[in-house]
Structure 1
Amino acid sequence: MKPYILEETNWKQIKNQKYDVAILPWGATEPHNYHLPYGTDSLETAKIAALSAEKAWNGGAKIMVLPTIPLGVQNVGQLELSFCLHTLPSTQTLIFKDIVTALDRQGIKKLVIMNGHGGNDFKPIIREIQPQFPEMFLSLVEWFKLLDPEKYFVEAGDHANEMETSIILHFSPELVLPLSEAGDGSQKLPKLKALRDKTAWAPRRWDKVSEDTGIGNPKKSTAEKGEKFVTDVTDEIAAYFVELAACDIHDLYEK
């Protein structure tokens, strides 16, 4: 039993403990090349949230990790792939508001969304919900953006790549097929120069840009690389949790 994981703890523990911060891991359910599970985003985000919370708890912060939401926003071209589950941003907003409403009523005033899926965009959702709950402090952590991946991994990419594969090899190697069965994650680039150089943005047509649903070659992935990345990123996130737990949300700014 971990007192900082809601799904594993009990009313006896919670009844007698004041919690300062709630963490909401949010992933997705979608194909990840041939070799990784559909739940990759949710699995790795739940584990990273739990490890970060454990470090923060051991540092004196009273943290509670909520159950992971496995429903993400998908791109056009993914929606037709079997069992790829798509959630509208408006649906995510409603789910998030319900959770904020419950925590606000219960006196838990600090909530962190831990995002693990690149297609999710929680900043506008937080901007919409925050004014409705002036006594709450809502924030976002996107763990996959915190560290420079070049310090840990050789191959680039952003979906079922060397980083994600190494993390799942570290956490759940039994869920990963042999890398010899993985696609190479080759990506076709848009013909429009403005899309290539980021002058403009449009959602990727997933069935057009990738043959295997991956973006980035996973062949050089190892559990050791995943462990090193996870250790460093959870150290950074845990430090934020400790600081957030101790702060006065009505006195956050200084000269």
Structure 2
Amino acid sequence: MTAFSHLTSPQVAALLAGPRAPVLLLPVGAVEPHGPHAPLGTDRLISTGMCARAADRLAGDPDLEVLVLPALNYGVTDFGAAFPGAVSIRPDTLRALVVDVCRALAGQGFERIVVVNNHFEPAHVTALRAATAEAGVAYLDLLRRANVARLTDEFRSGSCHAGQYETSLVLADRPDLVDTTAMRELPPVTVDLPAAMSAGRTDFVEMGMDRAYCGAPAGATAAEGTSTFDTLTDLLVELIREVGRG
């Protein structure tokens, strides 16, 4: 993987003048509780992992040069406010930050940008959709029905915050960050997050997630995480190729 921030200024100039079209990936996450077992930075870790894998997969592409931008670690995470470690920013702050970063890059000639997000609080997603539309860049929207259909049963169920789906992804990339002893002792917690949000519930405790997770984290495995990363990378590579063509 090539990290954009590891380049020198002359190397950036050479990239712009080179024969391959540069595509920049912007990983986005949040700092929020993910149960008693998974790290606060789970969402950013997943986004960054997808971007790294996509860049590696396309390393030999004759037409595209894919680089990963420094991640945006903070997001809108009001639902987790009752738990220590939650750090939320305002939707307008997130929107402005994404727009400013993308416009600064586009002004230099980097017009092919893909925002990659794995934090799905509604206000956060709405801010990113608005920001990417305003900046004229691509957004990999994992909540689109066609994308959801390609992911795991737990993800499709909507009961998937720090459960088997997310915990498996962390185990695949950073197993040292998962408290597997705590993970194995956690009983399944079924919460239909989309339905709870539609019903007007605005925090994890109110939704029945008094330990900041739902789903079945005890069933998480690195093997599932690796398989899911493959699917997520497929989705991202498909969008990168679309962006590269247009």
The TM tier, using the shorter chain, reads: 0.7 to 0.9
Report Cα offsets for 1:35-65 as digits up to 9, x if no partner. Answer: 1011110111111111112212322311221
From the superposition, tell whether residues 240 and 86 of structure 1 become closer, same or farther in structure 2 (CA, over 3 Å).
same
Q: Distance in 2 between matches of 1:87 and 1:188?
A: 25
Seq. identity, %: 22
From the superposition, tell whether residues 125 and 15 of structure 1 become closer, same or farther in structure 2 (CA, over 3 Å).
closer
Determine which of 18, 31, 35 is the counterpart of 1:29. Answer: 31
**Mapped pair 1:123 → 2:123:** no
Does the 8 A contact of 1:37 with 1:176 survive in 2?
A: yes
* Counterpart residue identity of residue 48, structure 1: M
Match of 2:138, SS?
A: strand
**Mapped pair 1:97 → 2:99:** yes
Residue 203 of structure 1: how far off its partner (Å): 4.3
From the superposition, tell whether residues 168 and 113 of structure 1 become closer, same or farther in structure 2 (CA, over 3 Å).
same
Does the 8 A contact of 2:159 with 2:192 survive in 1?
A: no
Q: Distance in 2 between matches of 1:149 and 1:55?
A: 22
Match of 1:46 in 2: 48
Determine which of 53, 62, 65 is the counterpart of 2:65. Answer: 62
Residue 16 of structure 1: how far off its partner (Å): 1.7
Match of 1:85 in 2: 87
Match of 2:6, SS?
A: coil
Match of 1:202 in 2: 200
Does the 8 A contact of 1:56 with 1:239 survive in 2?
A: no
Q: Distance in 2 between matches of 1:144 and 1:46?
A: 18
From the superposition, tell whether residues 203 and 94 of structure 1 become closer, same or farther in structure 2 (CA, over 3 Å).
farther
* Counterpart residue identity of residue 173, structure 1: P
Match of 2:8 in 1: 10
What stretches of structure 1 of length at least 5 have no aligned partner? 131-136, 248-255
Match of 2:228 in 1: 229
Does the 8 A contact of 1:75 with 1:206 survive in 2?
A: no
Residue 124 of structure 1: how far off its partner (Å): 2.5
Does the 8 A contact of 1:56 with 1:242 survive in 2?
A: no
TM (norm. structure 2) is 0.82
From the superposition, tell whether residues 95 and 189 of structure 1 become closer, same or farther in structure 2 (CA, over 3 Å).
closer
Residue 149 of structure 1: how far off its partner (Å): 1.0
Q: Distance in 2 between matches of 1:33 and 1:138?
A: 33
Q: Distance in 2 between matches of 1:97 and 1:155?
A: 32
Match of 2:47, SS?
A: helix
Q: Distance in 2 between matches of 1:217 and 1:92?
A: 30
Does the 8 A contact of 1:170 with 1:226 survive in 2?
A: yes
Does the 8 A contact of 2:157 with 2:192 survive in 1?
A: no
* Counterpart residue identity of residue 167, structure 1: L
Match of 2:211 in 1: 212
Match of 1:25, SS?
A: strand
From the two aligned structures, give the one with the greater helix fraction: 2
Does the 8 A contact of 1:59 with 1:242 survive in 2?
A: no
From the superposition, tell whether residues 153 and 98 of structure 1 become closer, same or farther in structure 2 (CA, over 3 Å).
closer
TM (norm. structure 1) is 0.80
Residue 83 of structure 1: how far off its partner (Å): 2.1
